[in-house]
């Protein structure tokens, strides 16, 4: 059974001072291109891996550490109160503390889902997910993945819970690349952004 996940998504806020080295990279092909070196290093530290060069490597490590267990709706950081992140499926509305939980909800649904999220600057991003198609509004919206630079290693016993807690604060949606890059300058994390329209592909691979 997957352990209950900690809802730490909103615990890490941007600092007042820009970091010395901003990652700030945007990829158009998350699954085929190598990750930025800083993000590789942080992911390797998180799960005590010898080498993580790509997202595929990272997914393989997660599956290895968790014996292939998958996330389910019960494992998501849901809220009984309205939040800045929500998903709608079959007339039901789910409120989440983390934007990406709404994406995972859509990947688990058998019918069309609608996502609405608030960016770090208070802008609104929406998306409709139907099958393997995610249609964001605005069309230039991107999302980030990341890990704090001085992440505490989880070692060989890393669980979904450890990975979720370390990465969730840095998985955000943005109206465009400019908003992402500005945010990236002020968070103490190694991050990378990709088009929001590709976000469900990663969710599917995390919920096989």
The model carries a pTM of 0.85
| 76 pLDDT more than 90 | no
**Stronger pLDDT, 186 or 161, i.e. the higher one:** 186
Banded pLDDT at 154 (limits 50, 70, 90) = low
Q: What is the pLDDT of residue 3?
A: 34
pLDDT per residue as tens digits for the range 89-137: 999 999 998 899 999 899 888 899 999 999 999 999 999 998 778 999 9
User: Per the structure block, which two tokens stand in for 11?
Assistant: 């615990």
- Rounded percentage of the chain residues whose pLDDT exceeds 70: 82
Task: Identify the H or E element spanning 181.
Answer: helix 177-184
Query: DSSP letters along 22-87, please?
Result: ---EE-S-TTTSPPPHHHHHHHHHHHT-S---SHHHHHHHHHHHTTT----GGGS-EESS--SEEE
Q: What is the pLDDT of residue 156?
A: 58
| 14 pLDDT more than 90 | no
Considering only 58-62, 155-159, 161-165, which range has the smallest mean pLDDT?
155-159
Q: What is the pLDDT of residue 180?
A: 97
- For the chain, what is the mean pLDDT? 83
Q: What is the pLDDT of residue 150?
A: 79
Residue-range domain boundaries for the chain: 25-206
Banded pLDDT at 4 (limits 50, 70, 90) = very low
Give CA–CA dist 25/88, Å, rounded.
31
Enter the CATH code of domain 25-206. Answer: 3.15.10.60
């Amino acid at each position: 059974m997957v352990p209950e996940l900690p809802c730490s998504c909103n615990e890490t806020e941007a600092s007042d001072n820009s970091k010395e080295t901003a990652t700030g990279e945007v990829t158009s092909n998350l699954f085929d291109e190598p990750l930025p070196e800083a993000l590789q290093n942080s992911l390797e530290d998180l799960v005590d891996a010898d080498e993580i060069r790509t997202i595929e490597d990272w997914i393989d490590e997660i599956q290895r550490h968790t014996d292939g267990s998958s996330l389910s709706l019960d494992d998501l950081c849901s809220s009984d109160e309205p939040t800045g992140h929500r998903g709608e499926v079959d007339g039901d509305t789910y409120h989440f503390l983390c934007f990406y939980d709404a994406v995972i909800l859509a990947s688990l649904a058998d019918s069309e889902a609608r996502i609405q999220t608030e960016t770090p600057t208070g802008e609104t991003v929406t998306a409709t997910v139907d099958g393997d198609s995610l249609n964001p509004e605005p069309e230039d919206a991107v999302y980030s993945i990341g890990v704090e630079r001085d992440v505490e290693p989880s070692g060989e016993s890393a669980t979904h819970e450890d990975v979720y807690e370390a990465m969730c604060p840095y998985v955000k949606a943005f109206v465009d690349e400019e908003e992402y890059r500005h945010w990236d300058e002020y968070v103490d994390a190694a991050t990378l952004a990709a088009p929001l329209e590709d976000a469900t592909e990663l969710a599917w691979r995390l919920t096989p």
